[in-house]
Amino acid sequence: EDEMCAQRIIAAKKNLGKRAVILAHHYQRADVYRHADLTGDSLKLSFLAAQTDADYLVFCGVHFMAEVADILSSPEQVAILPDLAAGCSMADMANLSNVERAWREISEIINPDETITPVTYINSAADLKAFCGEHNGIVCTSSNASKVLQWSFKQREKVLFFPDQHLGRWSGHQLGIPLEEMPVWNFDEPMGGLTPEQITKAKIFLWKGHCSVHQMFQPQHIIRFRNQYPDGIVISHPECNYEVCKASDYVGSTEYIIKTIAAAKSGTRWLVGTELNLVSRITEEFKSQGKIVQFMSPMVCMCSTMARIDPQHLAWTLENLVNGNIVNQIKVPLEEAKQARLALDRMLKIS
C-alpha cells in the first residue's frame, strides 16, 4: 500500500509539473521527505518560498511554516498544508492576547514602545508576527537568533522574546547577557510573576514556552556519551535547554547540524540533540562516509504534529490539485500578512 501511495504522489507530481512545488522541513518523515523538491530549515525554507514561482506551494511542515510561505509568496500563489492538524505545540504557547497583556502590564513600569523590541521566533502564529511588525519588532529563526538580538538591541534597550525560552536564553547568553537579566515572563501570573525591579533590570524577557520534543534531551545523556566515547562530539539544537546547550560542542539549527557533520572527518562519532527523523536520516547518509551519528535520548523524540503530514495526505492534496481543486489552503488575512511581512523582511534583510 505504501508503494501504491508513493506511485500516486509521483504520478500527480508529474502531471502538475512546475505548477506545484513540494517543500519539506528536515524533520519530515522519510516517506514524505523523499518526494520533496526543496528541503531546509525554517530560514532556508522561508527564502525558498519567497523565491519560487510555482502556483502551488505544498508545504510538508507545520502550520506556521505554511503561513510564512503564504506571507512571503505573491498574492496569486497558493500555500497548502496537506493536513491542517499539523501544528506546533510550541507556537501554541504564545497567543496575541497573552502578548498584548504582557505589553500592557509592562507599560505600568516602563513604556514598552520606547524600550522594548518584540522578537518572535518564527515558530509562532501570523498574528504574533504582525504584532512584531507593528511594534518595530522582528522575527528570528534558530539559525539567526543571536544576529536578530544584536539588531534588536540597536533599536531598543530591551527585548521581549517569545515563545521559546530556551532559544532566547541561549542566544542572549551568546551575547554575554547574564541569566539574571533574562527572567521568564509567566503569562499565567499578574505582571508575569516579576517584581518591578526585575522588570526594570531585565535585558530580555523570556516567555514561558518550550518545544516538547527538545525538552526530552538532558545533560546526563551527554555525560554518559562522553564517558563512553571521550573523543565523541556533541551537537544540539538551540531549542534544547540551557544545560544541554552548554554541555554541547556545537549548537545550531537543523541545517547547521547537517552541514557541520557533513564537513567532519571520516571516523568521527556524533551525538545529536534534535528530532529523530532528521537524526535517523543522517545516520544512514553519513554511514557510508565512515561517520557514526547517534541520537541523544534513549526515548523516541519525534515531532508528532509534523508527522501528521503523511503520504496519504500528500497524495490526496496533489490529486485534488490535478483535478483543479485547492484543498487545505493556508491564507493569512491581508492586513495581518502585511504587518507580519514587515517583521519577516527585517529578518531576511539581516540574514
Nearer to ligand SF4 (CB atom), residue 52 or residue 274: 274
135 known member of a binding site: no
Pairing between β-strand 20-25 and β-strand 38-40 as defined by DSSP bridges: parallel
Q: Which residues contact 65 (CB under 8 A, 6 or more apart)?
A: 23, 25, 42, 45, 59, 122
Does 215 contact ligand SF4 by CB under 6 A? no
Does 165 contact ligand 13P by CB under 6 A? no
DSSP 8-state symbol, 185: E
Does 244 contact ligand SF4 by CB under 6 A? no
User: From the list 52, 117, 120, 141, which residue makes contact with ligand 13P (rule: CB under 6 A)?
Assistant: 141
Does 248 contact ligand 13P by CB under 6 A? no
Dist. CA 90–CA 111, nearest whole Å:
28
Q: Which residues contact 221 (CB under 8 A, 6 or more apart)?
A: 244, 271, 273, 296, 297, 298
**Amino acid at residue number 229:** Y
| CA distances, 29 to each of 35, 40, 276 (Å) | 11, 14, 9
Residue burial 170-207, b: 16+ Cβ < 10 Å; e: rest: bbbbeeebeeeebbbbebeeebbebeeebbeebbbbbb
In angstroms, give the least distance from the CB of 263 to ligand SF4: 24
Nearer to ligand 13P (CB atom), residue 141 or residue 165: 141
Compose the 102-141 pattern: x for residues touching ligand SF4 by CB under 6 A, - for all others: ---------------------x------------------
Find out whether 88 and 95 touch, Cβ atoms under 8 Å.
no
Give the strand order in the sheet containing 20-25: 38-40, 20-25, 56-60, 78-80
**Amino acid at residue number 334:** L
**Bridge partners, residue 220, by sequence:** none
Compose the 256-295 pattern: x for residues touching ligand 13P by CB under 6 A, - for all others: ----------------------------------------
Cα 63 to chain centroid, rounded: 11
In angstroms, give the least distance from the CB of 19 to ligand 13P: 26
Does 142 contact ligand 13P by CB under 6 A? yes
Closest CA to 128 of 187, 183, 175: 187
88 known member of a binding site: yes
Please choose which of ligand SF4, ligand 13P, none residue 41 contacts, taking the beta carbon within 5 to 8 angstroms, the exact cut-off set by kind.
ligand 13P
Please choose which of ligand SF4, ligand 13P, none residue 89 contacts, taking the beta carbon within 5 to 8 angstroms, the exact cut-off set by kind.
ligand SF4
Compose the 70-89 pattern: x for residues touching ligand 13P by CB under 6 A, - for all others: ------------------x-
Cα 116 to chain centroid, rounded: 23
Compose the 14-33 pattern: x for residues touching ligand SF4 by CB under 6 A, - for all others: -------------x------
Dist. CA 279–CA 347, nearest whole Å:
28
Does 213 contact ligand SF4 by CB under 6 A? yes
Nearer to ligand SF4 (CB atom), residue 126 or residue 202: 126
In angstroms, give the least distance from the CB of 146 to ligand 13P: 13
In angstroms, give the least distance from the CB of 11 to ligand 13P: 30
In angstroms, give the least distance from the CB of 148 to ligand 13P: 12
Nearer to ligand 13P (CB atom), residue 42 or residue 218: 42
301 known member of a binding site: no
Host H or E run for residue 251:
strand 250-251
Span from 211-219, 227-235, 263-271, 332-340 in contact with ligand SF4 (CB under 6 A): 211-219
Annotated binding site for iminosuccinate: 25, 42, 121-123, 142, 237-239, 254
Q: Which residues are at the interface with ligand SF4 (CB under 6 A)?
A: 27, 62, 88-90, 123, 211-213, 239, 275, 303, 305-306
